[in-house]
Chains A and B, each alone.
Chain A
Amino acid sequence: MITFFKYLIFFLAIILVQSFVFDNLVLPMGIVVMFYLIFILNLPFNMNKILLLLLAFGIGLSIDGINDTYGLHTSSVVFMAYMRDKVFKFFEPVSGFYENKSLSHDSIPLFWYVKSFGSLILLFSVWFYFMSVFRISGFWFTLQKALLSSITTFFIIFIIQILLRRKGSKDEK
């Protein structure tokens, strides 16, 4: 029950941060920082896949509602949630990580983190930008946009994750 409320507060806070802070950042080439992906990425590993999809659907709809993107975010984030399991399995270290409950806590190998989170965010961005233009002309421009956007998003999520984790470990001491 406590975890439920923890995640509920996390969910609401992330939507507010996305709409108040990151949607107002104007970056060159129309790049948007999709900070809210941190929610889907940080849910427990061995979570029920159906629940994961529904959560992704929920957060996507909320972001769409605020942004007037009419289902574009929803579609991309549901796609990312669907791929999450497959990507994690693909990059799974030999020792396995299924003992860990959630990603925001200690001892995840950095290299694994970069590979799996990076590729998930990249998948999201490619889906998002190609759906939003929905044509082949200007292919390289769109791809460039997707790449730059995913790199920015990744670094911001990465930095915030490091900050949050450090704070958590201090509290434990």
Chain B
Amino acid sequence: MRNLKYLFRNSIVFLIFSVLQIFSLSIFFKSQTYQHLSFLNSTSGLSNTVLGWQYAYKRYFNLEGENQKIKKNYLALLQKSPQSFIKISAFETRIEDTLYKQEYAYIAGNVLRSTTHKSDNYITANIGKKQGVKRGMGVINHDGLVGYVYEVSNHYCLIKSLLSQNINIDVALDSGQFGFLKWFGKNPKYIQVSGIPNDTELKKGIALRTRGTGGIFPRGILVGKVHTFNFAEGESNWDIQLKPSVDFRSIKSVYVVKHLNKQELDDLESRIE
């Protein structure tokens, strides 16, 4: 009888252990796929209070006011620059001033926290649904491409940075050849690009920019510069190491890209079967 009691007691500990394990691991593996969890991340409740404090004490180290001013000026310029506009008519391009219509708008935010050491890295920013941020929007900053919005709450958003496995954003050379970004979780200083054929001429320092398909990013946003390139084993592609133009370890501000005609674009593309 005593043995039985002992056995029962031991197995109940193991049972509770298993239940807790299954619960936490299932959340973890669910988060690995592109599935959205609205709890247990830094966009929710308690933890963004903590993040708010963290931000408040950290920003003494930044020249906050100066930063804001520069950002405002930059945004004003960006909204006027040609890459934010789309031509109304393909035929009448002579008087360019009145023939462009704005296609992209930008929402500025500050970074509350960012990581570079995990196998999927996220950035938390202090803009959310109230500012018009939605899931899947692209994110850039004044240095170049940052990532895309993974999760939004009312006042905060979680950005999946380029330092994530399966990020798969398409990037192009100025000559038009395009490839995809990959990251294997090893070195936060370099990202990999695959899919660019190895008969393309490359040089160290050549810039790769966004291709602008899918209406997530404008065309021509700087992603990074080629650091090294080798023949990929068993493929006719280059294996490129890219140095991202954004320094993810010291990132302070981000701009979320809003495509003004996104709905229209999606509706049209959804007709392909």
Contact = CB atoms under 8 A, between A and B. Distances in A.
A and B interact: yes
Contacts of A160: none
Nearest to B53: A20
B17 to A, nearest CB: 5
A73 B44 CA distance: 18
B51 A66 contact: yes
A26 B51 CA distance: 18
Nearest to A82: B17
Interface stretch (B18-26, B78-86, B135-143, B236-244): B18-26
A8 interface: no
B44 A141 contact: no
B16 interface: yes
A88 interface: no
A19 B50 contact: yes
From B28, B46, B184, name the one whose CB has the most chain A CB atoms within 10 angstroms: B28
A30 B117 CA distance: 4
A57 B50 CA distance: 19
Q: How large is the interface on B (under 10, 10 to 19, 20 to 34, 35 or more residues)?
A: 35 or more
Interface string B211-223: 0000000000000
Interface stretch (B103-111, B118-126, B167-175, B265-273): B118-126
B72 interface: no
Given A68-B124, A75-B21, A132-B119, A53 B40 contact: no
Contact of B17 (A20, A53, A62): A53
B200 to A, nearest CB: 28
A78 B117 contact: no
Contacts of A54: 16
Interface string A50-79: 100110010011101111111110110011
B131 interface: no
Contacts of B47: 65-66
Interface string B82-103: 0000000000000000000000
Contact of B20 (A57, A70, A72, A134): A57
B13 A53 contact: yes
Contacts of A32: 117
Nearest to B13: A49
23 contacts: A16-B50, A20-B54, A26-B117, A29-B117, A31-B117, A50-B16, A54-B16, A65-B42, A65-B44, A66-B51, A68-B41, A68-B122, A70-B27, A70-B37, A71-B24, A71-B28, A71-B40, A74-B20, A74-B23, A82-B14, A133-B119, A134-B32, A138-B184
Interface of A: 16, 19-20, 26, 29-32, 49-50, 53-54, 57, 60-62, 64-72, 74-75, 78-79, 82, 131-134, 138, 141
Given A70-B31, A75-B24, A141-B186, 19 more contacts: A19-B50, A26-B117, A30-B188, A50-B12, A50-B13, A53-B17, A65-B42, A66-B47, A66-B50, A68-B115, A70-B28, A70-B30, A70-B40, A71-B27, A71-B40, A82-B13, A82-B17, A132-B118, A138-B186
